[in-house]
């Protein structure tokens, strides 16, 4: 009895617990995709390799098991490197499998020949080409293990066409084995005591909750920690929902004050990178003491010297910290000056944005759109968001009650991730959480990167609600009068601002390609009706194209996200 390389690879992935494969097929992986389906893997054919990679990594984040991105050699893999880098920097588990040129053609101009293993190494934890069919199971096991163990990331497997098509006796392939569950790193007792005493002595403590806490499924422990101690907390963008955004101890509306004035910060599942201004002045107090908890020892002290640095998984650390603080009878007084200042700042900022949200005049602004969208979407919806102002302003209004229910551009700031993320989220909802909705909120520029994945959603009957917040440009756009003036001013390549897009593009008309209905929106009543209608759909997506003012902006910021050095 013989077996080919395609079957061995597909079977190995299945036996390692992989469930979803996203890709675009061609020579030499057509037969591999069919072998995957024959072995019980779920294959989703995408329209762009980048989107396939974004979907596969979102599956890894949402389920804890890496999704697979399957692509053709050469250009197929090169298109995927953006997604590989995004997953590696986001710390999400992902397996990329690419076909490769037939080995006997290498070096003489093979079709789509490319040094793929070498190209992949900068973007992943493991990159290898199995030397023979009997070695495929070993490489698959290692790829899945390395993608999940330690700090999660990317593994790449290079599969030459001749290896996939070759056949060997079935009994020559080693019996499969599945690696044990990921080992848990426990904190040392001394660090727990040091952390507890720092928090107990703090006058202005703050807990920062990152997406690492969401990935670690630490929500029950962190909710107990903040409620038992009455500590204020601040979520990072994808840390939203670990403790609900509307929890009274969430101080996100006072983010700037909280970061600038905190004297002790407990950092859980987040890194002191650009998203947290590197932990440095002037965004942070010069004398702040940081308790840094990370499962990667290499991350400790990476930007600033932490007062307490703990290599540990978040759950065991939080469990032991709760017990230690309880033994000290620690409870942060709600009448403390720090709480009074934070609540006052929260209320002040809420009033400012609420006033902007109540402005319903046409053309609409971001705040009005998001406020009225939030009123209608289910509280347990998974929210996917990308775009500059769309994502940043939407973060304030679109609340998360549950962890792993927000997906956005992430640490790498990648645009074009939205539709791929939404496809992954919709599959997870359908298979694990029936009834939960996926709301994909896109800037018009961001939607342009991957908009054709709407066809993928239609093909697989995924009820994603896509809301395009359309301001005719990147960051800001132009009204029709200004746009027409540009068109008559001379050479369009010289006079059209680089940030300009077409005025009031009818993105919703893409639904007409499938005989389905989209929505073109100018007013709040139209938006409300369209959202209510979209939420009733169970077997198809829809696009709600909301026209807003080209000059709409966020409220004035004390500090913007720090995206470049200000030395």
- The rounded distance, in Å, linking the Cα atoms of 439 and 397 is 13
Instruction: Give 186's pLDDT tier (boundaries 50, 70, 90).
Output: very high
Quick count: other Cβ atoms within 10 Å of Cβ 335? Answer: 6
Topology of domain 2-172, CATH: Rossmann fold (3.40.50)
Question: In the structure encoding, which two tokens stand for residue 76, read together?
Answer: 């197929």
- E-state strands within 448-550: 464-470, 519-521, 542-547
Instruction: Give 556's pLDDT tier (boundaries 50, 70, 90).
Output: low
Mean pLDDT over 132-147 rounds to: 97
pLDDT in tens, 48-85: 999 999 999 999 999 999 999 999 999 999 999 999 99
Q: Are 330 and 199 in contact (CB under 8 A)?
A: yes
Residue 487 has pLDDT above 80, yes or no: no
Q: What is the pLDDT at residue 291?
A: 98
Helices (H), 379-469: 388-397, 418-432, 444-450, 453-459
Distances (CA, A) of 35 to 29, 43, 135: 10, 10, 18
**Which H or E element spans position 99?**
strand 94-100
Residue 545 has pLDDT above 80, yes or no: yes
Residue 560 has pLDDT above 70, yes or no: no
Distances (CA, A) of 356 to 367, 435, 535: 6, 32, 26
pLDDT in tens, 256-285: 999 999 999 999 999 999 999 999 999 999
Dihedral-angle region of residue 230 (phi above 0 means left; psi in -120 to 50 means alpha; beta otherwise): left
- The rounded distance, in Å, linking the Cα atoms of 78 and 221 is 41
Mean pLDDT over 25-30 rounds to: 96
N- to C-terminal Cα separation, the chain: 67
Bridge partners for 521 per DSSP: 546
- The rounded distance, in Å, linking the Cα atoms of 220 and 243 is 8
Q: What is the pLDDT at residue 557?
A: 56
Q: What is the pLDDT at residue 530?
A: 98
Q: What is the pLDDT at residue 40?
A: 98
Q: Are 310 and 191 in contact (CB under 8 A)?
A: yes
Q: What is the pLDDT at residue 558?
A: 54
- The rounded distance, in Å, linking the Cα atoms of 450 and 53 is 12
Topology of domain 359-547, CATH: Rossmann fold (3.40.50)
Dihedral-angle region of residue 478 (phi above 0 means left; psi in -120 to 50 means alpha; beta otherwise): beta
- The rounded distance, in Å, linking the Cα atoms of 348 and 342 is 10
Bridge partners for 155 per DSSP: 95, 126
Residue 132 has pLDDT above 70, yes or no: yes
Domain ranges of the chain: 2-172, 189-344, 359-547
Multiple choice CATH, 189-344, 3.20.20.70, 1.10.287.110, 3.40.630.10, 3.40.50.1220: 3.40.50.1220
Question: In the structure encoding, which two tokens stand for residue 431, read together?
Answer: 């298979």
**Which H or E element spans position 467?**
strand 464-470
With pLDDT > 70 as the criterion, what percentage of the chain qualifies? Answer: 98
**63-67, 103-107, 296-300, 331-335: range with lowest mean pLDDT:** 103-107
Q: Name which residue leads in pLDDT, 155 or 334.
A: 155
Residue 562 has pLDDT above 60, yes or no: no
Q: What is the pLDDT at residue 565?
A: 42
Residue 179 has pLDDT above 90, yes or no: no
Identical fold between 2-172 and 189-344: yes
pLDDT in tens, 526-541: 999 999 999 999 999 9
User: Mean pLDDT in the chain?
Assistant: 94
Q: What is the pLDDT at residue 564?
A: 52
- The rounded distance, in Å, linking the Cα atoms of 454 and 459 is 9
Distances (CA, A) of 354 to 146, 247, 529: 46, 18, 22
Residue the block writes with tokens 């005493």: 197
Question: In the structure encoding, which two tokens stand for residue 54, read together?
Answer: 């974004």
pLDDT in tens, 361-408: 999 999 999 999 999 999 999 999 999 899 999 999 999 999 999 999
pLDDT in tens, 422-463: 999 999 999 999 999 999 999 999 999 999 999 999 999 999
**Which H or E element spans position 334?**
none
Mean pLDDT over 180-190 rounds to: 93
DSSP 8-class letter at 250 = B
- The rounded distance, in Å, linking the Cα atoms of 142 and 155 is 9
Instruction: Give 567's pLDDT tier (boundaries 50, 70, 90).
Output: very low
Collect all residues with Cβ–Cβ distance below 8 Å to 370 and sequence separation of at least 6. 357, 393, 394, 396, 397, 398, 441
């Amino acid at each position: 009895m013989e077996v080919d390389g395609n079957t061995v690879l597909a079977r190995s992935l299945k036996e390692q617990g992989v469930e979803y494969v996203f890709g675009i097929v061609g020579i030499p992986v057509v037969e591999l995709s069919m072998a995957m389906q024959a072995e019980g893997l779920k294959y989703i054919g995408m329209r762009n390799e980048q989107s396939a990679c974004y979907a596969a990594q979102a599956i890894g984040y949402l389920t804890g098991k890496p999704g697979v991105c399957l692509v053709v050699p050469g250009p197929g893999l090169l298109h995927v490197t953006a997604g590989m880098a995004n997953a590696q920097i986001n710390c999400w588990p992902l397996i990329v499998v690419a076909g490769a040129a037939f080995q006997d053609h290498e070096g003489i101009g093979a079709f789509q020949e490319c040094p793929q293993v070498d190209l992949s190494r900068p973007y992943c934890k493991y990159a290898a080409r199995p030397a023979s069919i009997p070695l495929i199971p070993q490489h698959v096991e290692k790829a899945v293990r390395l993608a999940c163990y330690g700090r999660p990331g990317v593994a790449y497997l290079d599969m030459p066409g001749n290896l996939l098509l070759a056949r060997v006796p079935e009994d020559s392939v080693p019996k499969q084995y599945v690696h044990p569950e990921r080992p848990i790193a426990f904190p040392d007792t001394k660090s727990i005591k040091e952390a507890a005493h720092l928090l107990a002595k703090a006058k202005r403590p703050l807990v920062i909750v990152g997406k690492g806490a969401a990935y670690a499924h630490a929500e029950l422990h962190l909710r107990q920690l903040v409620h038992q101690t009455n500590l204020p907390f601040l979520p990072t963008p994808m840390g939203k929902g670990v403790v609900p955004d509307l929890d009274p101890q969430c101080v996100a509306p006072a983010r700037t004050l909280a970061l600038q004035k905190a004297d002790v910060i407990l950092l859980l599942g987040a890194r002191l990178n650009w998203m947290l201004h590197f932990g440095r002045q002037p965004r942070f107090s010069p004398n702040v003491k940081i308790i840094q908890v990370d499962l990667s020892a290499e991350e400790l002290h990476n930007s600033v010297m932490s007062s307490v640095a703990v290599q540990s998984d978040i759950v065991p650390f939080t469990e032991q910290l709760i017990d230690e603080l309880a033994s000290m009878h620690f409870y942060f007084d709600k009448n403390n000056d720090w709480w009074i200042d934070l609540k006052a700042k929260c209320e002040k900022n809420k009033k400012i944005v609420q006033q902007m949200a109540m402005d319903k005049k046409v053309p609409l602004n971001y705040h009005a759109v998001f406020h009225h969208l939030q009123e209608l979407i289910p509280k347990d919806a998974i929210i996917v968001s990308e775009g500059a102002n769309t994502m940043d302003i939407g973060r304030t209004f679109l609340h998360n009650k549950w962890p792993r229910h927000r997906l956005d551009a992430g640490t790498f700031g990648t645009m074009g991730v939205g539709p791929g993320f939404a496809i992954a989220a919709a599959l997870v909802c359908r298979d694990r959480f029936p009834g939960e909705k996926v709301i994909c909120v896109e800037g018009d520029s961001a939607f342009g990167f991957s908009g054709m994945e709407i066809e993928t959603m239609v093909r697989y009957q995924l009820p994603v609600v896509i809301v395009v917040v359309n301001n005719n440009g990147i960051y800001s756009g132009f009204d029709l009068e200004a746009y027409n003036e540009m068109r008559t001013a001379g050479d369009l390549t010289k006079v059209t601002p680089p940030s300009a897009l077409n005025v009031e593009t009818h993105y919703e008309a893409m639904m007409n390609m499938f005989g389905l209905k989209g929505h073109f929106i100018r007013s709040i009543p139209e938006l409300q009706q369209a959202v209510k209608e979209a939420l009733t759909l169970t077997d198809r997506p829809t696009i709600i194209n909301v026209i807003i003012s080209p000059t709409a902006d966020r409220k004035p910021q004390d500090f913007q996200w720090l995206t470049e050095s200000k030395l």
